[in-house]
Every structure is written in C-alpha cells, then in structure tokens.
Amino acid sequence: MLLLALSAMLTGCIPHEKLVNFSTDSSEAMINAQYVQDPPEITIQPDDILSITVSTFDTLAARIFNKTITTPGPEGSFIGQGYLVDQSGHIEFPVLGKVRLKGLTREAAKDTLRSKLLTYLRDPIVEVRFLNLHVSVMGEVMRPGVYTFPDEKFTILEALTLAGDMTTYADRSDILVIREYGKVREFGRVDLSSSRAFESPYFYLAQNDVVYVKPLEQKKNLIEDPFSRVLAITSVVASLSTVIIALTRP
C-alpha cells in the first residue's frame, strides 16, 4: 500500500529538468558567446497609434505640423498627440492631409513624411514612434494580461517577466507565439528549455503578438483527479507514521 501511494503521489511531481530554462548539452557547454540576431522590423499597421513630431530651424513654421488635439478628430485620426492609422493604412496629417503609412517601418515613414514636408519646410526633421506597442500573455504565467512595451526590440523573456514569470506547471519547451500580418496569421513555437531559444525567429516579439504558455501534463492529472492526489499524500503520511511508531516501539 505504501508503494502504491508513493507511486500515485509521484505522478504529480515535476522532474527538475522541466523547470530549467536554457539548458545546454555537452557540446554547447564550451560555447561562451553567441551571435545576437537583429530583431525583426515592426511595420505600421491599421489601428496603430503613432507619435509624430516635426522640427526645423523655423520653429514657428513647424508649429502647425505639431498640432495637439485633446479630443478625437475626423474619423478618429488624432488621439491626443498620437495619429491613429485607419483601416486603409492612412493617417490624417495637418496640411498634408491623408498620408499612407501602412506597411512602412518607422524609418521609411519618417522619410515619406519628410519628403512631403520639403514643400513647406526647409530641412525638416521628423520623428516617428509607436505609442501602442503591446503583446498579450496568457496561460501558465503568474499575471496573464496585455502588456505594452516602449520600443521595437522586445523579447519573449521581457514579456514573461512582465507577466510575473511562468508557473511551476508551465511547459517551457513549447511556448506558442501567435502573430498576425494583415490577413495572415502565423503560429510559431519557442523552446525556452534550450539555449537555442535565442535563435528562434519568435524570440523577438512584434506588435499584437499573443504568447501562450501551455501547462504540463502533470497539471492535467492534478486537475482531473485532485481527490486521488490528496488521498495518496494522506496515505503516505499515515503509512510512514505507522512504520515509525512500529520501529520506535520498545
């Protein structure tokens, strides 16, 4: 009975190797440096909110292009100091009117606006930043939710850290990343139990990514039959107590 109880209890135990991140084999153990890949460039998509500032030597002339609106403008184009990209990929910019930025990187968007502003300004400097970069983290993490990030170089490790790290029952070897570009949806997987995780094309996250951390099989067993788990532990304690009393009795 003692052996049966121990066996039932141990089915819910999680091996140490499943709790370790970035493990290496003997051939990798000698590597002390890795090539750091560049993060993928984030492109502007509908519903993005952009901060756009224009500066030049003539600050008075540039003022009209840095319009601040505290209430939504036509078709919701302005939100505070941000510009909302509409479903056709355009923003409504002062004086210039509709400007299509969909599919452009920040640098390409800056060049596009600057070329249009040359008609009105001398040597304009344009700065473009995302205001609503965010990812969703769900599953076996301490604090599931939607988290914003400040710049375009954002990793899956930073997202999991914001979510309070993974729980004990997280499957570190099979983390799902769901990514959408326009009407295309991708499903990528990252194995954080291996040091090769840093080489994954999904190690760096993109705007609107969803990170899902799957549970281990041990949690499924625990949820499906919690009574048996408690009974097994109770049986082990009772059996061990009986053995100890028997051995210590004169």
Q: What is the domain range of residue 115? A: 49-130
Q: What are the φ and ψ backbone dihedral angles of 219, each rounded to 5 degrees?
A: -70, -35
The residue from 130, 159, 174 where one domain ends is 130
Residues belonging to the chain? 250
Q: Can you give the pLDDT at residue 78?
A: 43
What's the mean pLDDT when you consider all of the chain?
A: 79
Does one domain contain both 166 and 148? yes
Q: What is the Cα–Cα distance from 138 to 56, expressed in whole angstroms?
A: 45
The residue from 130, 156, 190 where one domain ends is 130
Q: What is the Cα–Cα distance from 213 to 171, expressed in whole angstroms?
A: 7
Does one domain contain both 111 and 100? yes
Residue 34 included in any domain: no
Q: Which CATH number does the domain housing residue 184 bear?
A: 3.10.560.10
Does one domain contain both 126 and 239? no
Total number of domains constituting the chain = 2
On the question of pLDDT at 142 being above 90, the answer is yes
On the question of pLDDT at 161 being above 90, the answer is yes
pTM of the model: 0.67
Residue 164 included in any domain: yes
Does one domain contain both 241 and 160? yes
Does one domain contain both 247 and 163? yes
On the question of pLDDT at 21 being above 70, the answer is no
Q: Which CATH number does the domain housing residue 60 bear?
A: 3.30.1950.10
Q: What is the Cα–Cα distance from 101 to 162, expressed in whole angstroms?
A: 30
Q: What is the pLDDT of residues 185-244, one digit of tens each?
A: 999 999 998 888 888 999 999 889 999 999 988 766 655 555 555 555 565 566 656 656
Q: What is the pLDDT of residues 58-95, one digit of tens each?
A: 888 888 888 664 444 444 444 456 899 999 999 999 99
Contact assessment for residue 22 and residue 197, using Cβ atoms and an 8 Å cutoff:
yes
Does one domain contain both 151 and 119? no
Residue 115 included in any domain: yes
The residue from 110, 130, 150 where one domain ends is 130
Does one domain contain both 117 and 150? no
Mean pLDDT throughout 92-107? 93
Residue 35 included in any domain: no
Query: 65: which 2 tokens?
Result: 């292009």
Say if residue 79 is exposed, middle or buried (CB neighbours under 10 Å; 0-12, 13-18, 19+). middle
Q: Can you give the pLDDT at residue 124?
A: 94
Does one domain contain both 109 and 178? no
DSSP letter (8 states) at residue 44 = P
